[in-house]
C-alpha cells in the first residue's frame, strides 16, 4: 500500500479529523467533485441528469458508525422517506446503506430490524436494497444480516470486496443462495493477514471473481452480478469474457461513483451494458471523501488547487 494511501486512510479513521475535517473550506470545495450537494434533493436532481443518457442511479446518505440510537432511527426514517419520494418521482434509484449507520455498533438485532424495514419498503416500491461492506471485522455480521433479510425479501444485494482473501468463499455461498453481489476492490485499511496488499493481486482477484459471478451454469435467477469499479481495462476484460461466455451485453452491470469516469459510463451504455451511478449526499462526508482521495492520491492535488484557487 502506498504511503500516501495509508496516511489518507488513517486520516479517514481519525476521530478528531472525522468531526473537524469537513469544516475546512478548501476540502469542502474539493469534495464537490464527488457530491452534487449535501441534500437529498441535490442527489435527486443529479439522478435526473443521468436519466437521458440511459444511466441509472443509486444513492447513499453519507454516515457511518453512529453512536446513539435516535440517530440510527433517524437515518432509517430518512431512507424510508427517500424510497417513497423516488417512487413518486418515477426515477430508478436504488438505496445503498451502511449497517453501522443503521446502528450495527449499538445493537445487531435492532440494526437487523432497520435493514428489514428498508428491504420491505423497497420491495413494495419495486426497488432494490444494496448493503455496503465496511471494515473486515464487520464482514461476518453483515453477511449474516443480509442472508436473514434475503430469507424474507429477494430484492437485497450486498457488497463483497475483492481484496479480502475470504471473498472467494463468501461469493460462492451468496451466489448459491441467489443473493445479489456488488463486487468492489475494497476501500479500507486492512491487515495483510486478511487482505491482499498488492494492487495487481486485487485486480486479478477481481477478474477471477467476476468470471465466477458471470458463470451461467447453476446460477439462480435472483443472483444479480454487479461490478462496482472505475477500472476501464478491467471492465473491458470482463466484457470480453462475458461475450465469449455468451452473456448478453446488458448482463454486465457496472456501478460507478458520481463524478468518476463519466466518459466511460457513456461508452458502456453505448455498448449495451447496464450502468448505475452511486450518488452520495449528506453532511457527514469527510471519512468517505478521504477514502476517495486514497483511491487516487493524485486527487490530493485537487484539494491543494482548491486551497490556492
Ligand atoms: C458503486 C460502488 C460502491 C462501493 N461500495 C463499497 C463498499 O461498500 N465497500 C468498500 O470497501 N468499497 C466500496 N466501493 C469503493 C471500492 O472498494 C474502491 O475503493 C473504488 O471503487 C476504487 O477502486 P476501482 O475499482 O475504481 O479501481 P482503481 O484501480 O482504484 O481505479 C481505477 C481507475 O479509476 C479511476 N478512479 C478510481 N477511484 C477514483 C477516485 N476516487 N477519484 C478519481 N478517479 C478514480 C482512476 O482513473 C483509476 O486509475 C464502492 C465503489 C463503487 C463504485
Ligand 1 midpoint to CA 298 (Å): 14
Q: What is the pTM of this model?
A: 0.94
Rounded CA gap, 40 and 297, in Å? Answer: 28
Distance 109 CA to ligand 1 centre (A): 31
Q: Is the CB of 289 under 6 A from ligand 1?
A: no
Residue whose C-alpha is closest to residue 56's, from 41, 68, 46? 46
pLDDT of residue 227: 98
Closest approach atom of ligand 1 to CA 294: 41
Is 98's C-beta closer than 6 angstroms to any atom of ligand 1?
no
Is residue 182 annotated as part of the catalytic site, yes or no?
yes
Report the pLDDT value the prediction gives residue 175, as an integer from 0 to 100.
Answer: 97
Question: Are the C-beta atoms of residues 195 and 160 closer than 8 Å to each other?
Answer: no
Q: Is the pLDDT of residue 246 over 80?
A: yes
**Pure H helices in the chain:** 3-13, 15-20, 25-31, 40-50, 69-89, 108-124, 139-150, 167-176, 199-214, 232-244, 262-271, 286-295, 300-308
Predicted local confidence at residue 196, as pLDDT: 97
**Which of ligand 1's atoms lies nearest the C-alpha of 278?**
1
pLDDT band at 272 (very low <50, low <70, confident <90, very high): very high
Q: What is the pLDDT of residue 23?
A: 80
- Span from the CA of 289 to the centroid of ligand 1 (angstroms): 12
Contact residues for 25 (Cβ-Cβ < 8 A; gap 6+): none
Query: What's the burial of 9, exposed, middle or buried (CB within 10 Å: 0-12/13-18/19+)?
Result: buried
Predicted local confidence at residue 1, as pLDDT:
60
40 CA → ligand 1 middle, Å: 22
pLDDT digits (tens, 9 = 90+) for 17-36: 878 877 887 777 878 888 99
Given the residues 121, 150, 175, 182, select the one marked as catalytic.
182
Q: Would you say the CB of residue 206 lies under 6 angstroms from ligand 1?
A: no
What does the pLDDT look like over 157-173, one tens digit per residue?
A: 999 999 999 999 999 99
According to the model, what pLDDT value does residue 106 have?
97
Catalytic residue among 132, 154, 170, 203: 132
Distance 44 CA to ligand 1 centre (A): 22
- Ligand 1 contacts CB of residue 157 (under 6 A): no
Mean of the per-residue pLDDT values of the chain: 93
- Whether ligand 1 lies within 6 angstroms of the CB of 287 is answered as no
Q: Which of 74-88, 174-188, 280-294 has the lowest mean pLDDT?
A: 280-294
**Closest-lying ligand 1 atom to the alpha carbon of residue 186:** 17
DSSP code per residue over 80-93: HHHHHHHHHHT--E
Atom of ligand 1 nearest to the CA of 277: 1
CA 169 to mean position of chain CA atoms: 20
Helix/strand/coil for 195: strand
**168 closest CA partner among 135, 127, 149, 196:** 196
Higher pLDDT, 234 or 292: 234
Q: What is the mean pLDDT of residues 197-214?
A: 97
Three-state DSSP at 289 gives helix
Amino acid at each position: 500500500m502506498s504511503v500516501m494511501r495509508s496516511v489518507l486512510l488513517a486520516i479517514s479513521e481519525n476521530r478528531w479529523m472525522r468531526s473537524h475535517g469537513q469544516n475546512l473550506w478548501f476540502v469542502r470545495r474539493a469534495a464537490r467533485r464527488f457530491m452534487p450537494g449535501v441534500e437529498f434533493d441535490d442527489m435527486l436532481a443529479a439522478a435526473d441528469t443521468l436519466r437521458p443518457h440511459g444511466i441509472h442511479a443509486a444513492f447513499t446518505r453519507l454516515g457511518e458508525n453512529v453512536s446513539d440510537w435516535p440517530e440510527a432511527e433517524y437515518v432509517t426514517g430518512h431512507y424510508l422517506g427517500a424510497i417513497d419520494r423516488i417512487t413518486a418521482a418515477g426515477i430508478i434509484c436504488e438505496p445503498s446503506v451502511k449497517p453501522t449507520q443503521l446502528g450495527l455498533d449499538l445493537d445487531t438485532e435492532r440494526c437487523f430490524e432497520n435493514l428489514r424495514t428498508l428491504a420491505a419498503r423497497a420491495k413494495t416500491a419495486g426497488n432494490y436494497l444494496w448493503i455496503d461492506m465496511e471494515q473486515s471485522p464487520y464482514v461476518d455480521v453483515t453477511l449474516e444480516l443480509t442472508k436473514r433479510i434475503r430469507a424474507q425479501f429477494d430484492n437485497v444485494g450486498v457488497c463483497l470486496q475483492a481484496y479480502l482473501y475470504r471473498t472467494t468463499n463468501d461469493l460462492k455461498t451468496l451466489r448459491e443462495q441467489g443473493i445479489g453481489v456488488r463486487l468492489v476492490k475494497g476501500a479500507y485499511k486492512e491487515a495483510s493477514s486478511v487482505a491482499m496488499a498488492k494492487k495487481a493481486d486485487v485486480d486479478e482477484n477481481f477478474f477471477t471473481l467476476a468470471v465466477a459471478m458471470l458463470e451461467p451454469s447453476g446460477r439462480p435467477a435472483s443472483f444479480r452480478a454487479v461490478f462496482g469499479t472505475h477500472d476501464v481495462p478491467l471492465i473491458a476484460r470482463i466484457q470480453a469474457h462475458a461475450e465469449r461466455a455468451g452473456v448478453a451485453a446488458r448482463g454486465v452491470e457496472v456501478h460507478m461513483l458520481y463524478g468518476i469516469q463519466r466518459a466511460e459510463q457513456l461508452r458502456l451504455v453505448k455498448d449495451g451494458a447496464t450502468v448505475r451511478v452511486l450518488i452520495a449526499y449528506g453532511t457527514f462526508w469527510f471519512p468517505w471523501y478521504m477514502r476517495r482521495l486514497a483511491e487516487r492520491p493524485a486527487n490530493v492535488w485537487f484539494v491543494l488547487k482548491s486551497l490556492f484557487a
